[in-house]
């Protein structure tokens, strides 16, 4: 087993062990962080590895959340098939958006993804009779059962979040070390050169966006199931900016970066909010400092100074 695989399996094992050691408050926080880190991993596939700077990833997160939540609310399907529907919604939306948005590049791509995301947000508000708009809706405990296990119970919720995070983390590690992952990086570094080498860059960018959207939808669907709520606030621009911040802080183009960035940002805001009502000012100053002194992010600095082969 390589040191890289051992490192990632070590993180998985550590998070499993923490399930039995953490106090209740921190236990719940880490479960939430793992679910949101899956969202960040999805974003990292598109932005960190392929160079697709999207400002609309909240639409994929929301697609998974509402695809899961609405199926549970208006059908007889159980939680796991409903989550599968959420994944399909995210993948389908990513494919449709990609076929249109990837005809642009750079700033134009950012704007187009932002417009699509805003359209999804407005659709959620327009069909408020079903989605409950800004108010959102609670998913009943009876609907949040898998194999007789209540996903609302802290231990079950943590282990479900851990399982999802572990699978997605290892899939991400596997992907970026495969030829397709190498092509993603080549497109990020120099798309013209990748095209001259014979790669169909449009197809690879579309593949990256679909993978990214599907993983983001998996996170959104899991959030709905584990925390019992779906709301339009998760489809706003703010939730498109969050994964960008998490990835930049943790280290864009690194497998562990999304988790480290999500963990750092979550506790930065949590601690700052306990000190002052102007907690975003403290968070902003800390982010500026990290950006100035560690522009490659936490994992990026580790890769640059300590472990050059860190994926």
Beta strands at 145-146 and 149-150: parallel, antiparallel or unpaired: antiparallel
- For 14-58, the pLDDT digits (tens) are 999 999 999 999 999 999 999 999 999 999 999 999 999 999 999
Of 40-49, 184-193, 250-259, 292-301, the poorest mean pLDDT is in 292-301
Beta strands at 137-138 and 229-230: parallel, antiparallel or unpaired: antiparallel
Q: Is 47 helix (H, G, I), strand (E, B) or coil?
A: helix
- For 190-223, the pLDDT digits (tens) are 999 999 999 999 999 999 999 999 999 999 999 9
Phi and psi torsions of 136, nearest 5°: 70, -175
Residues 48, 245: Cα–Cα separation, whole Å: 12
The model scores a pTM over 0.75 = yes
- pLDDT value at residue 88: 97
DSSP H helices in 54-200: 58-74, 79-101, 107-126, 128-131, 154-176, 179-189, 191-196
Helix-helix angle 24-44:201-227, to 10 degrees: 160
DSSP H helices in 177-256: 179-189, 191-196, 201-227, 238-250
- For 131-188, the pLDDT digits (tens) are 998 899 999 888 898 888 899 899 999 999 999 999 999 999 999 999 999 999 999 9
């Amino acid at each position: 087993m390589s040191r890289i695989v051992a490192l990632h399996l070590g993180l998985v094992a550590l998070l499993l062990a923490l399930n039995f050691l953490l106090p209740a408050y921190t236990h719940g926080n880490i479960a939430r962080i793992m679910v949101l880190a899956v969202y960040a991993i999805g974003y990292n596939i598109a932005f960190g590895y392929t160079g697709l700077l999207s400002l609309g990833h909240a639409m994929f997160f929301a697609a998974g959340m509402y695809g899961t939540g609405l199926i549970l609310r208006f059908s007889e399907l159980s939680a796991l098939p409903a989550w599968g529907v959420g994944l399909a919604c995210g993948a389908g939306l990513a494919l449709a958006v990609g076929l249109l948005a990837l005809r642009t590049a750079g700033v134009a791509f950012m704007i187009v993804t932002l417009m699509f995301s805003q359209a999804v947000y407005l659709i959620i508000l327009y069909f408020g009779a079903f989605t409950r708009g800004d108010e959102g809706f609670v998913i009943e405990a009876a609907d949040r059962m898998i194999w007789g296990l209540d996903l609302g119970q802290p231990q079950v919720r943590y282990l479900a979040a851990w399982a999802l995070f572990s699978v997605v983390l290892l899939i991400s590690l596997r992907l970026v070390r495969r030829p397709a992952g190498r092509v993603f990086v080549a497109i990020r570094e120099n798309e013209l050169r990748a095209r001259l080498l014979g790669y169909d860059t449009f197809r690879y960018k579309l593949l990256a966006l679909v993978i990214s959207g599907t993983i983001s939808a998996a996170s959104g669907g899991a959030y709905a199931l584990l925390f019992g709520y779906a709301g339009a606030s998760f489809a706003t621009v703010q939730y498109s900016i969050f994964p960008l911040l998490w990835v930049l802080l943790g280290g864009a183009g690194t497998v562990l970066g999304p988790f480290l960035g999500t963990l750092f940002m979550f506790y930065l805001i949590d601690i700052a909010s306990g000190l002052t009502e102007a907690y975003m000012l403290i968070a902003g100053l800390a982010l500026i400092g990290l950006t100035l002194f560690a522009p490659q992010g936490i994992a990026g600095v580790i890769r640059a100074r300590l472990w050059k082969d860190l994926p």
